[in-house]
């Protein structure tokens, strides 16, 4: 048996029990290890779905150009789909994203445009605005807009959610994931809550992001927005893919706590994962310590691979510069 192209290898990632970092926690905590996807991240799933749906709708035509704002992982998924289907790619990224992410995207043939991080989303220099402008200017181009494109949520409702339900044999009681575009947590939560309505979904947010306060008060508070270092979670906008009704609560995790936990996962669990994976596990365990019983099973999504963060959290000198080591 063989695959026709690399995108057919997406999905069916393993569920791995956490052993060391969960010391003192009752119940079972399992990690959905998404770096087993060919692009090394959970974003492969929705990237291919957004492309497929755009083709079916006639929005993306042969020889077209895919233009997207990305923190790196969605870009990789889109680039793999583009190679398989014959499209060009242009990606806008904020300047806080690591050099590895830029180099990886260039390696798979994408053009990269770096934009400043610390500007408002509607600023013409922001990576959202630059992507939209390029889409308007370049003929036969497609801007997937992972934040508001509901194919993102649908990909996880159709694949990741059912996988988790089957892999836990329906025993899952709690689900936790970082929230960026919101597609992963919303799609999985929707599927799992249909199977088990009392399932608790925990969203992991970061300091400097608007999600937690918005969930708790319904207020979009611009005072909550300030620069943070963690890549891949938190937002200064409210993406359409974040379905707050499907997320029971949010926990915020600091940059340092996320970085240190990411390194612990590598050393203690053999899981060489990305920065937001540390955010997800740190926040999930904080919740689990208080709420999990012996009969409970929690699943945490680990979105990506450590190779994206070699110059930052896996670099001792960089960690010391932050005062985190």
Angle between helix 43-56 and 73-85 (nearest 10): 50
d(CA 294, CA 253): 25
Taking Cα atoms as reference points, which of 200, 176, 191, 145 lies closest to residue 276?
176
| Active-site residue (options: 17, 20, 32, 43) | 43
CB proximity list for 187: less than 8 A, separation 6 or greater: 152, 153, 154, 155, 156, 157, 158, 160, 161
Structure tokens at 189: 């939560």
Q: Alpha helix locations (H) across the chain?
A: 43-56, 73-85, 99-107, 127-137, 151-155, 161-167, 183-195, 211-217, 255-269, 275-291, 316-322
User: Is residue 212 among the annotated active site residues?
Assistant: no
How many whole angstroms separate alpha carbon 40 and alpha carbon 77? Answer: 9
Catalytic residue positions, numbered: 43
């Amino acid at each position: 048996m063989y695959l026709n192209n690399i995108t057919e290898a997406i999905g069916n990632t393993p569920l791995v029990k956490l052993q060391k970092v969960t010391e003192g926690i009752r119940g079972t905590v399992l990690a959905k290890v998404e770096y087993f996807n060919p692009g090394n991240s959970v974003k492969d799933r929705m990237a291919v779905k957004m492309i497929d749906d755009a083709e079916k709708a006639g929005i993306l035509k042969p020889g077209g150009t895919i233009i997207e704002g990305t923190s790196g992982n969605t870009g990789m998924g889109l680039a793999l789909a583009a190679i398989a289907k014959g499209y060009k790619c242009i990606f806008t990224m904020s300047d806080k994203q690591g050099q590895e992410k830029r180099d990886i995207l260039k390696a798979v043939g994408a053009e990269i445009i770096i934009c400043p991080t610390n500007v408002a989303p509607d600023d013409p220099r922001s990576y959202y605005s630059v992507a939209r402008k390029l889409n308007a200017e370049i003929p036969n181009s497609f801007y997937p807009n992972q934040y508001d494109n509901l194919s993102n949520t649908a990909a996880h409702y159709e694949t990741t959610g059912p996988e988790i339900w089957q892999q836990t044999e329906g025993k899952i009681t709690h689900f936790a994931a970082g929230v960026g575009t919101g597609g992963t947590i919303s799609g999985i939560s929707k599927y799992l809550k249909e199977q088990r309505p009392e399932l608790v979904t925990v969203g992991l947010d970061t300091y400097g992001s608007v999600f937690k306060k918005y969930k708790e008060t319904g207020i979009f508070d611009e005072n909550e927005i300030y620069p943070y270092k963690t890549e891949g979670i938190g937002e200064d906008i409210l993406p359409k893919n974040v379905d707050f009704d499907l997320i029971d609560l949010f926990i915020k995790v600091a940059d340092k706590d996320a970085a240190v936990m990411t390194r612990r996962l590598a050393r203690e669990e053999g899981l060489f994962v990305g920065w937001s994976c540390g955010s997800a596990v740190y926040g999930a365990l904080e919740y689990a310590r208080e709420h999990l019983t012996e009969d409970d099973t929690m699943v945490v999504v680990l979105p990506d691979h450590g190779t994206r963060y070699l110059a930052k959290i896996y670099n001792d000198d960089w960690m010391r510069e932050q005062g985190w080591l």
